[in-house]
Amino acid sequence: MNVLVVATHPDDEVLGCGGVMARHADQGDAVHTVVVTRGIPEIFPPEYVEEVFRELRAAHALLGGSGIHFLDFPAPQLDTMPGYALADAIKKLVFELRAEVVYIPYQGDLHGDHQAVYQAALVASRPINGCPVRRLLCYETLSETDWASPFGSATFTPTVFVNISDHLGRKLEAMRCYQTQIKAPPHSRSLRSLEALARMRGGTVSTMAAEAFMLVREIM
């Protein structure tokens, strides 16, 4: 099975899908990550961006990933980009990889870049013209999903829970690779918070740890 995780920024893939990525890899699936953005130099010095990308590669290898792809759209400026350009770039990769399962950010996330990537990925995965996607899910990103508006469609309401009891350790180790991104407790983007969320999601479905998703579409 070919799996694609669409990450707006490096570390989103571990925060939202790290356990599932390791589980897919252990099952023999090809797990690819596409990083949609690159930090603009006015805010993120090039040496900092390269350090984050080194952390990304280390985390990806730890999880058993099959490949990383970079689209290099400007962060945090996706609101200045035409939506079709984002969608076309993601769609091209979906078809090249023949991605059957795709994980994308949640549309209600606080960060505008996440919202833009959600919309573009939705367009890129439309079930037309031989699109290979058979399962499309939104993941939750600590420090984005949890800080979003608590009203209406912005509220993350999981409908799919994946048991990551055997993979939570690797998820946390992968996040530890991101020394530029990780925060100390009680910050939302800390290892303690990440483990607490996994334990809580697991408790919801009587497992030791889980990652939760919202199912957008499944074609059986």
Query: How would you classify the pairing of strands 67-75 and 160-163?
Result: unpaired
Q: Which of 80, 77, 97, 101 minimizes the C-alpha distance to 89?
A: 97
- Residue 193 to residue 191: CA distance in whole angstroms: 5
Cβ-proximal residues to 96 (8 Å cutoff; 6+ apart), any chain: none
pTM for the complete prediction?
0.97
The tokens of 34 are what? 């596409």
Cβ-proximal residues to 155 (8 Å cutoff; 6+ apart), any chain: 108, 148, 149
| Cβ contact 101:4 at 8 Å | yes
Q: Answer yes or no: is pLDDT of 159 > 90.
A: yes
Note the pLDDT of residue 137: 98
Q: Answer yes or no: is pLDDT of 153 > 90.
A: no
Q: Which of 155, 154, 26, 162 minimizes the C-alpha distance to 103?
A: 162
Band (pLDDT 50/70/90 cuts) for residue 104 is very high
CA distances from 96 to 3, 90, 100 (A): 12, 10, 11
The mean of the pLDDT values for the chain is 97
Band (pLDDT 50/70/90 cuts) for residue 152 is confident
**CATH numbers and ranges of domains, the chain:** 2-157+212-218 (3.40.50.10320)
The tokens of 52 are what? 């984050």
| Cβ contact 118:152 at 8 Å | no
The alpha carbons of the chain give a radius of gyration, in whole angstroms, of 16
Compute the half-sphere exposure of residue 138: CA atoms within 13 Å on the CB side of its CA: 26
Q: Which of 82, 67, 136 minimizes the C-alpha distance to 106?
A: 136
Q: Whole-angstrom distance between the N-terminal and C-terminal Cα of the chain? A: 14
The tokens of 96 are what? 């090249």
198-208 average pLDDT score: 98
Q: Answer yes or no: is pLDDT of 118 > 90.
A: yes
| Cβ contact 140:146 at 8 Å | yes
197-212 average pLDDT score: 98
CA distances from 166 to 24, 26, 59 (A): 12, 10, 17
